[in-house]
Chains A and B, each alone.
Chain A
Amino acid sequence: MIHIDNVSKCYHTRFGRRTVLDRVSLRLERGRNIGILGRNGAGKSTLIRLLSGAERPTSGRIVRNMSVSWPLAFGGAFQENLTGLDNLKFVCRIHGVDYRPLVKFVEDFTELGIYFREPVNHYSHGMVTRLAFALSMAVEFDCFLIDEAMVVGDVRFHERCHVELFHKRKDRAFVLVSHDPNVIKLYCERACVLVDGRLHEFSTVDAAYEFYEGLPGGPVTAPVEV
């Protein structure tokens, strides 16, 4: 279980304190999932950072009784001057996993070829994303954090991510954040909407969808294929 208990997060800006998350509470049981809808700047990424433990809440607390991944396919958590293989080793060491049985999976999934043994700063953006995704899969977390905006790639990559995450690991919990209600509808069993740092909880995805579409500023759904 993950329990977000009355969490607020403020940042200091040149114009004073800005509250990005305002007394947010949420509970996620093992094996369940939740989608969080929000427009740009609603605080989605901040919530993901707090969940991953990269930052601490200003107030409130987060209790984790599950192992939680870093944001899926997030390439920033890597060491640019190390090779893909080195990064695999590093991530495995941190999580206490033997990297050797995983080399083949990561090599196959990323299709990096010889670049797997080249420094990451020689990679294209797509290569970094593929590596990052594969490494997130290499460590078997109980709960995955997915920031939809980070998982960019071609259709084939999306299909393979889909298989790895939603088929092979369908017993896992995940938190998916997106500005796109279609994505949430497709993958999540329930949904919340973040508006100006406040979290609105709904029992069904459809109810969240309606609320989201009805927000001032008009419909925000653009036809997007996933």
Chain B
Amino acid sequence: MNTGVIRPTSGFWRSLTIQKRVIRALLMREIITRFGRHNVGVLWLIGEPMIFTLGIATLWSVAHLVHGGGGIPVVAFAVTGYSSVLMWRNSVSHCCNAVQQNINLLYHRNVRVIDVLITRVLVEISGATASFIILSLFFIAIGWISPPVDLALVLGGWLMLAWFGASLALTIGSLTSYSRIVERLWHPTAYLLFPMSGAAFMVEWLPRGLQETVQYLPMVHGVELLRKGYFGNAVRTHFDIEYMAMCCTVLTFVGLLLARDAARRVEVE
């Protein structure tokens, strides 16, 4: 009736095997609970950014807004901008209170706080990536935007944004288990960061003083790199990937430390 008695484990590789197994189980569970059995939920992964992008495109076309960059297709600009926002915003939002929401799973010996956070990040990054790819392909197919000029740069920018989203989510997600205030502060912060994140402008369009200021925000560099890949030499971009990588490294480190500490402090029912 039963398969063999499961053995306790030790050692790095065995831990890694267990962690992969746990994250896989959590992923499948997350997908079922979030998107439902009938897969309509998955559509919203694409549906929401699509509606947003179309909305922006319509608004800009109606208002005849001409941007300083000149000649940048509005749709492609909106797709790259909003997709990058999704990357960090959704990762963080879904890691807020993730530990509290999954607290009882910690009764299963192998499930740890970090697994819960990693799972949420993976779901969000996959979702944002899927929506970015599908939206791009859709708009390319109907001829509203041209294919990216340099796919490697697009990929590079995207990976950097993913890293940034993951490290920020780990940090803020762990912090929410210290105090509810963190989550409450995150929402207004996310709204404020949105217009400053490079989603709605190119750094080149800003006055010089402001250019330097926004470049303190790590995600701006990722979006610029992404757009460099998308538009090639049609735009002037400003990015410093080393700076962004440094920020991400620090955030990752802080996030991991906080997750470890959160695991110590966690109190189940």
Where the two chains meet, the residues of A that have a C-beta atom closer than 8 Å to any C-beta of B are 11, 49, 52-56, 64-71, 74, 76-79, 81-82, 86, 89-91, 93-98, 101-102, 105, 137-142
Q: Are A56 and B3 in contact (CB under 8 A)?
A: no
> Which listed residue, A53, A76, A139, touches B6 by the CB 8 Å rule?
A139
- How long is the Cα–Cα vector from A113 to B269 in the complex, in angstroms? 30
Residues of B within 8 A of A139 (CB): 6
Residues of B within 8 A of A54 (CB): 104, 106-107, 266, 268
CB distance from A135 to the nearest CB of B (A): 10
Q: Are A94 and B110 in contact (CB under 8 A)?
A: yes
CB distance from A151 to the nearest CB of B (A): 15
CB distance from B110 to the nearest CB of A (A): 6
A-B contact pairs, 5 of them (CB 8 A): A56-B264, A66-B8, A70-B109, A78-B104, A102-B1
- How long is the Cα–Cα vector from A104 to B25 in the complex, in angstroms? 21
Q: Are B2 and A52 in contact (CB under 8 A)?
A: no
Q: Are A138 and B2 in contact (CB under 8 A)?
A: yes
Residues of chain B in range 219-269 having any CB-CB distance to chain A below 8 Å = 263-264, 266-269
The stretch that binds A, out of B27-35, B150-158, B184-192, is B27-35
Residues of chain B in range 9-30 having any CB-CB distance to chain A below 8 Å = 18, 21-22, 24-25, 28-29
Residues of A within 8 A of B108 (CB): 70, 77, 91, 94-95
CB distance from B16 to the nearest CB of A (A): 13
- How long is the Cα–Cα vector from A55 to B4 in the complex, in angstroms? 27
Size of the B side of the interface (Cβ < 8 Å), in residues, is 31
- How long is the Cα–Cα vector from A101 to B6 in the complex, in angstroms? 15
- How long is the Cα–Cα vector from A74 to B105 in the complex, in angstroms? 11
> Which listed residue, A66, A76, A77, A93, touches B21 by the CB 8 Å rule?
A93
Given contacts A49-B268, A76-B107, A77-B107, contact A90 B4 (CB under 8 A): no
- How long is the Cα–Cα vector from A55 to B177 in the complex, in angstroms? 14
Most buried by A among B5, B8, B107: B107
Q: Are B32 and A86 in contact (CB under 8 A)?
A: yes
Residues of A within 8 A of B263 (CB): 56
- How long is the Cα–Cα vector from A49 to B132 in the complex, in angstroms? 43
> Which listed residue, A76, A82, A96, touches B29 by the CB 8 Å rule?
A82
CB nearest to A99 among chain B residues: B3
Residues of B within 8 A of A86 (CB): 29, 32
> Which listed residue, A56, A77, A79, A101, touches B1 by the CB 8 Å rule?
A101
Q: Are B29 and A142 in contact (CB under 8 A)?
A: no
Residues of A within 8 A of B107 (CB): 49, 52-54, 70-71, 74, 76-77
Q: Are B269 and A96 in contact (CB under 8 A)?
A: no
Residues of B within 8 A of A89 (CB): 28
Given contacts A56-B263, A141-B6, contact A67 B29 (CB under 8 A): no
CB distance from A176 to the nearest CB of B (A): 17
- B85: interface (CB < 8 Å): no
Q: Are A79 and B33 in contact (CB under 8 A)?
A: yes
> Which listed residue, B1, B4, B22, touches A105 by the CB 8 Å rule?
B1
Task: Give 10 nearest A-B pairs by CB, closest first.
Answer: A93-B25, A70-B107, A77-B107, A140-B5, A53-B109, A54-B106, A54-B107, A76-B104, A54-B268, A94-B25
- B64: interface (CB < 8 Å): no
Residues of B within 8 A of A97 (CB): 3, 6
Residues of B within 8 A of A141 (CB): 5-6
- How long is the Cα–Cα vector from A158 to B117 in the complex, in angstroms? 38
Q: Are B7 and A67 in contact (CB under 8 A)?
A: yes
> Which listed residue, A53, A76, A90, touches B25 by the CB 8 Å rule?
A90
- How long is the Cα–Cα vector from A82 to B31 in the complex, in angstroms? 11
- How long is the Cα–Cα vector from A97 to B7 in the complex, in angstroms? 11
Residues of B within 8 A of A79 (CB): 29, 33
Q: Are B33 and A53 in contact (CB under 8 A)?
A: no
Residues of B within 8 A of A76 (CB): 104, 107, 269
- How long is the Cα–Cα vector from A139 to B40 in the complex, in angstroms? 33
Q: Are B2 and A102 in contact (CB under 8 A)?
A: yes
Given contacts A52-B109, A76-B107, A96-B21, contact A90 B5 (CB under 8 A): no
Beyond contacts A52-B109, A93-B28, A94-B25: 5 other A-B pairs, Cβ-Cβ < 8 A, are: A70-B108, A82-B29, A91-B108, A94-B22, A94-B110
